Amino acid sequence: MKKYLFIILLVGVCFGQDCTAEDGTVGVELWEECYSIDNTQTISRPCIMCGGQELKGPIPHEIGLLTNLTYLNLFYNEISGPIPAEIGNLVNLTYLNLGYNELSGSIPSEIGNLLNLNYLILGNNHFSGTIPSEIGNLVNLESLDLTKNQLYGLIPEDICNLPDSVFTLNSPHLSLRSNYFCPPYPACIEDSLVQESEYCDNGEECIAGDGTDGLILWDSCYSINNTTTINLSGNNGNDLGELYGPIPSEIGQFLNLDTLNLSINNLSSSIPIELSSLSNLKTLNLHYNKLSGNLPSEIGSLSGLERLYLNYNKISGSIPNQIGNLSNLIEFHIHQNFISGSIPSEIGNLENLESLFLADNSLSGEIPIELFNLHNLKYLNIRRVPYGMSPIDGNNRFSQSFVFSNIVNLMSIEIFIAPDCGLMGTIPSEIGNLQNLQKLNIQDNQLTGIVPESICDLNIDFNATGFWDRDFNLRGNNLCMPYPSCIVGNGGMSNQDTSNCNIDLNWNFSLSEQIVTINGDDQIWNPGENISIELDLCNNSDIAHMYYPGIVLKADSQIVSIDNEYFWFYGIDSNSCNTATFNVLADSSINFNTSINFKAYADALNCENQSEYCIDSDTIVFSIPIIFETVYAYEPIQIPNEFALHQNYPNPFNPITSLRYDLPNDGLVNITIYDMMGRRVKGLVNGPETAGYKSIQWNATNDRNEQVSAGLYLYTIQAGEFRQTKKMVLLK
C-alpha cells in the first residue's frame, strides 16, 4: 500500500466581490482588501521600495462604487490597463494620484466629472491619445501632472479654464513634458511647453532624396511615387519602437507601396481607411501596437495583400465580410485583440491562406463550414485562452455546433489549435490521412465516441511532455475507451467524461457485511474512543489491475474525525476484494439513539497517466447508529464557548455541501444564501435553536426548490449580535 497526497494550489486575484468591511457594512473587495462602500473616504497604497508587494492588474470597475472617496493614492505600483470610466462616479474626490504605474489607453472624458479635484497626477505611465476637452471642467484643480506619457495631438483650448495659478511660468503645478503634443498650443501654456513633436510634421510636403515630391512621415521624407517599402519596425530587443500617435492618413498617397511594417511600436488610435488605397500592398504588418477601433471594411480593397498581421493590439468590432475579397492572402494574424462577432463565412474564399490565427479574442457564434474549404491551410489557431494566461484574456466562445470530422478536408494542416471552442462529433478514422499534422490541441470540447487507431499514423510526438503546450492534447472531452496503444498513458487523454460510454470497467465498489466495531462497552461513544469501519473494493474482472485504486471516506458530522480519509491499494487481483479499515475518532461525546452519517466513494491515483484504469465515482452513503443494550451513564453534550461560522464542506461542491456553525447560547438563528449580486437565493434556518455544534446542508436549490447555476455564493449567519459571511463555490 502506498499513500499519496495531492495538493492543488489555485492562485488568482478576484476584484469586485461583495464582502463585509471592518466596520460591519457592505464592502467591495479591491486588491485583496475589503473597503466599505458607504464609509470609505481614503485609499492610500503607494508602494515605493515595498519589496515586490506592488499592486498589479487593472483598476477594477467596482472602484466607482466608493462614491464617498475623497483621497485615492496608488502611486508607484504596477497597475496596468486603462482608467475605468467609472472613475467619474467619484465626485467627492479631491486627490487622485496614479503616477508611476503601467496604465495605458486614453484618459477617460469622465474625469471631467470630478469637479472637486485639487490634484490630478497621471505622470510616468503609458497613456496615449489626446487630452480630453473635459479637463477644463476641473475648475478647482491646483496641480496637473501628465509627465512622460505618450499623449499626442492638439491640446484642447479648454485647458485654459483651469485656475490661473496652474499656469504660472515654470510652475511646479503643471507638467505636460515628455509627450508628443503638436502646435499650436493654447495661449495659457504656449510660453512654458517644450515637446518632442517631430511626428507633428507628418503629411507635410518635402523633396525626397531622389529629387521627387515627397511627404514627411515620422521625421523622414518619403517619395510619393517611388517608395515601395516603409519598414519602421521597433524590433530592437525587448524595447518598443519610437513611433507614437495615430498612423497618418497621408499614408494612403503612397500608391506603389508593397510593404508597410510599423510593428512593435506605440502607435495608437484606429487603422485609417486611407490604407485601402494601397492597391499594390502585399505585406501590412501592424502587430504589437496599441491600435484600437474597428478593422475597416475597406481592407477588402487590398486585393494584392498576401500577409496581414494585426495581432497584439486592441482592435474591436467584427471581422468584416470583405475579408473574403483578399484572394491572395497567405497569412492572416489577428489574435490577441478584442474582436467580437462570428467568423465570416467569406473567409472560405481565401483559397491561398496557409496561416490563420484568430485566438484570444471574443469571437462567438458558429464556426463556418466554409473554413474547411481552405485546402492550403497549415496553421489554424482559434483557441479560447485559459483565464489569466494572456495579457488580454480573450474569451472566444463558439456555439456548440462545429463538427470536428470536417478536419479531414484540411489536407495540408500542420498545427490545429482549438481548445474549449465547442467542437462536437467524433474523431474520424480518416484523421490518419493528415500526414502533415504535427500538433493537435482540441482539449475541453464535446468530442465523443472512440478514438480511432489511425490517430497513431499522425506525425505527432505522443511522448512529448508539457502541459499548456503539449503537441497532443485531447483532455477534457467525452471520449470512450479503449484508447489506441500510442496514446495510452498520455496526459493529453486525461479528464474524459465517460458517463455515456456504456463501458463496464469491472470495478464494483461494495460494503462488507460486518462494517463497524466499537471500542468500549457502553452506549456512549466517548471523546478519544474510536470505531473501525471496514469497506471492500472488489474487482469482478477476469483481469488483475496492478494499479492504485482506493476508497475515500467522509463524515458529515463535525464531532468525529477520520484518522485516514484515504485508503489506497497497490493492486487488486481478478475476482477478489480488498478490505480497507478506517478508524473514526470521537471528538465529542455521542449518545445512544443517535447516528453519524458517512459517505464513501471510489477513487484512483494518477488518472491522468492511466485513465483506462480509473474507477467510476459511485458514492455509498450509510449511517452508523449508536445503540447498545447496556445501561449508560448520562454525559452532557459539550457546548461551544463562542459563536463561529465554519467554511462549508466540501468546497467546491456538487450537489450538496454542509454548513457548520457553533452556537454558545440558545436563541434565534437566521442562515441565508445569497448570490454575488447580494440577491437572496434561499433561507436555510430562520427560528429558535438550542446551543451546540450545528450543521445544515444546502442542496444547491433556491427558495422555489429550483436548481441554481454554478458559481460563487455567499452564506450569512445572524444570531443575536453575531453576524458573519463566507464564500462557497458550486461546480457543475
pLDDT tens profile 42-72: 999 988 767 668 888 889 999 999 999 999 9
Could you write out the three-class secondary structure of 649-705? ECCCECCCEEEEEEECCCEEEEEEEEECCCCEEEEEEEEEECCEEEEEEECCECCCC
Contact status, residue 494 vs residue 611, Cβ threshold 8 Å: yes
- Report the 10 Å Cβ neighbour count for 36: 19
Question: Apex CA 233: angle with CA 227 and CA 239, to 5°?
Answer: 160
Q: Tabulate helix, strand, coil % of the chain (nearest 5).
A: 10, 35, 55
- The CA distances from residue 552 to 11, 599, 604, 621, in Å, are 26, 8, 10, 12
- The residue among 451 and 540 whose pLDDT is bigger is 451
Average the pLDDT over 654-669 and give the result.
87
Report which DSSP code applies to 140.
T
Report the alpha-carbon distance of residue 396 to residue 380 in Å, rounded.
14
**DSSP letters of 308-342?**
EE--SS--BSPPPGGGGG-TT--EEE--SS--EEP
Which residues neighbour 672 within 8 Å (Cβ) at sequence distance 6 or greater?
A: 680, 681, 682, 683, 684, 715, 716
Res. 585: pLDDT tops 80: yes
Is the pTM here over 0.85, yes or no?
no
Question: Apex CA 635: angle with CA 632 and CA 636, to 5°?
Answer: 145
The whole-number pLDDT of residue 606 equals 41
Cell match 466608493: residue?
66
Mean pLDDT of the chain: 80
What is the helix (H) or strand (E) element at residue 119, kind and residue range? strand 119-121
The whole-number pLDDT of residue 150 equals 80
Beta-sheet strands, E only, within 179-294: 180-181, 205-207, 213-217, 220-223, 229-231, 244-245, 259-261, 266-269, 283-285, 290-291
The whole-number pLDDT of residue 308 equals 97
pLDDT band at 41 (very low <50, low <70, confident <90, very high): very high
- Report the 10 Å Cβ neighbour count for 399: 13
Give φ, ψ of 325 to 5 degrees.
Answer: -75, -15
Instruction: Outline where 451-566 has alpha helix (H).
Output: none
pLDDT band at 194 (very low <50, low <70, confident <90, very high): low
pLDDT over 70, % of the chain: 79
pLDDT digits (tens, 9 = 90+) for 139-175: 999 999 999 888 888 899 999 999 988 876 555 688 8
Tell me the three state secondary structure of residue 50: coil
Residue 729, C-alpha cell as written in the block = 463555490
Which residues neighbour 482 within 8 Å (Cβ) at sequence distance 6 or greater?
A: 450, 612
Which residues is 231 bridged to in the sheet?
261
Q: Strand 56-57: give its sheet, edge to edge.
A: 56-57, 78-81, 102-105, 126-129, 150-153, 180-181
Lowest mean pLDDT across 144-148, 198-202, 379-383, 464-468: 464-468
Average the pLDDT over 114-124 and give the result.
94
Which residues neighbour 170 within 8 Å (Cβ) at sequence distance 6 or greater?
A: 192
Residue 407, C-alpha cell as written in the block = 478536419
- The residue among 433 and 632 whose pLDDT is bigger is 433
Q: Which of 454, 450, 445 is nearest to 416 (CA)?
A: 445
Q: Which of 626, 630, 703, 710 is nearest to 672 (CA)?
A: 703
Which residues neighbour 477 within 8 Å (Cβ) at sequence distance 6 or greater?
A: 442, 443, 444, 445, 446, 447, 448, 496, 497
Region for 301 from its dihedrals, namely left if φ exceeds 0, alpha if ψ lies in -120 to 50, beta otherwise: alpha
Is the peptide bond between 428 and the residue preceding it cis, with omega within 30 degrees of 0?
Answer: no
Tell me the three state secondary structure of residue 549: strand
The whole-number pLDDT of residue 140 equals 94
Average the pLDDT over 683-698 and give the result.
87
